[in-house]
Structure 1
């Protein structure tokens, strides 16, 4: 066991006061069988319930558990970054707080981190989610694969293990729209999926259809210029439609002088089409400019309000 790498387990917490005690207890049962040096980091993202009180008590009870309280709700991705940057050990494991990721399966992730692998994703044999959430999840992974070109995008999950040196890949990351999986893909292509047993959801998952759609939009607008290219193509298409309508009006004018449509009808159609295209273009460009403006203001991605730990491992 002396050759086993040290492990930091990072868990973003939101609305999980009922699941955290069991999760931390199981972690402190499973982790000693994997490594002599480990820690559990609970990043509490300012939920409205008593999650922080529970996390604080756990940190005071278990010597190898640390609790970080965010100053406000910054979102799950920024909670990941806070925990990952605070990690002290060689291998970093991330997992959800809702008991869907069994602590007992962490060993399988670490076994997948062979010499030529830097990042491992735990992939369930079969996902047990609702239709809309599964649809949104597949959409996010498709964006990662097709738009961003991320290797093994279909295997991406929040149950992951990676070598801590990968953090250097996002040392200079600015803004509050960071995505952990994208930044990890900047640092390595040595990625491997590992099949794990996934427990059935014990409560409300932190992932919802709405949050996954927002996640996909952040991926598109934060890490790709393809939406701008799409606007260019859309402008060309609308131009062709407008040209076609113009040809039709001219043709109808000369071939059907007695049954001409009122001029306002064709004009209204063209104005509506062009206006819609312009609004889409302005919206996409405005989103990019807004992100640049927000980043230029120096807005912090997150702030840690307080830290609680009993003994440093």
Structure 2
């Protein structure tokens, strides 16, 4: 018999939350109990440190709503979150940081926005962003890439509300360096945002140092964006055209007598021609690499939102979801 479906699953990737997790879980339980619907809290230990796991074990023993998942080593925030998706049973899945920057009391605002906009994913955007100025600036610069790839007009955050159907689809990915937000946009285009309160507890120290932010930037740029490949493709084509034009100018100048140095024209044409062919080849190769890149990234071919005559389907739907008007939904 399959386990009962809960209304909300909260997934919290944990790295150094020994001091903040007790308060976070207490506030989560109070907030979700007030809704009078079944819920669960999944704490994923991504630190491989005994002290943190001891705190998670104690919290899980004290409340049946809390489930602890301990990873073998540190795999990263996004990997830990996707691991939490594999254990979640909710119609809705909420993700938030362990450090109390994302107030649990704001979950209701995300749910209200999802209902209002008929959305699959809702991001909680801080009304006023707290934290060091350099880090906020670096984060905003990094957000340029996911905003372009996801085709959204707002910055993303770790405070998300995700439909259970979408979370289950994302959980199928086995990429070792997954960027969760990009994958969400590959599954659905019903993505919106809601303004929420943002807190900055005293003594808070982010695990995202400048070095880690740079690593995330390059991961986004080269693992999930085809922009560099497209740039090489277009640049190679344009430069090959310019090389052909320049070669024609050299030949015309030799015929009209403007160039009188013996052998210079033939050498220049040979160099320009070979360079043009090489650059054109680079452009063509970049187009093939871009397609291989998307295949390796496991971009979904199509994702079914809803279907008629469900008794004829051979694959069971993974989770319950409110009825929607649209029949099918595929990737863009």
Fold-level match, TM-score > 0.5? yes
Alignment check: 8 A CA contact 2:234 2:283 kept = no
Cα deviations across residues 19-59 of structure 1 (Å, max 9, x unaligned)? 33332233233322234422111122345685434333332
- Return the offset for 1:279: 6.7
Distance 1:73 1:30, change over 3 A: same
Task: Say if 2:103 and 2:199, in contact at 8 Å, map to a contact too.
Answer: yes
DSSP 3-state at the match of 2:224: helix
Aligned counterpart, 1:304: none
Residues 146-201 of structure 1: CA deviation (Å, up to 9, x unaligned): xxxxxx45253321113313345447545445444344445544444211111237
Q: Which position in structure 1 is the counterpart of 2:140?
A: 134
Superposed CA offset, 1:130-154 (max 9, x none): 3222111133212221xxxxxx452
Residue 125 (structure 2) aligns with? 123
Per the alignment, residue 164 of structure 1 pairs with 164
Displacement of 1:204 after TM fit?
Answer: 0.9
Taking the TM superposition and a 5 Å limit, the aligned residue runs for 1:1-313 are 6-46=7-47, 50-114=51-115, 116-128=118-130, 129-145=135-151, 152-154=152-154, 156-170=156-170, 173-200=173-200, 202-206=204-208, 208-220=213-225, 229-250=230-251, 253=254, 254-257=257-260, 289=292
Q: Which moved more, 1:165-174 or 1:233-242?
A: 165-174
Choose 172-181 or 99-108, whichever is displaced more: 172-181
Q: How many angstroms apart in 2 are the aligned matches of 1:276 and 1:131?
A: 37
Question: CA offset at residue 104 of structure 1?
Answer: 1.7
| Distance in structure 2 (CA, Å) of the matches to 1:277 and 1:35 | 63
Q: Which residue of 2 aligns with 1:298?
A: none
1:144–1:280: structure 2 CA closer, same or farther, 3 Å change rule?
same
Q: Which runs of 5+ in 1 are unaligned?
A: 146-151, 296-313
TM-score by length of 1: 0.70
How many pairs does the alignment contain? 281
For 1:149, the equivalent position in structure 2 comes to none
TM-aligned CA distance change 1:246 to 1:292, over 3 Å: same
Preserved CA contact (<8 Å) 1:133 1:209: no
TM value normalised by structure 2: 0.67
Structure 2: which 5+ residue stretches go unaligned? 1-5, 299-332
Equivalent pair of 1:118/1:190 in contact (CA under 8 Å): yes
Q: Is the 8 A contact 1:34 1:107 kept in 2?
A: no
**Separation in structure 1 between the aligned mates of residue 224 and residue 229 of structure 2, nearest angstrom:** 14
**Matched residues in 2 for 1:127 and 1:118: separation?**
25
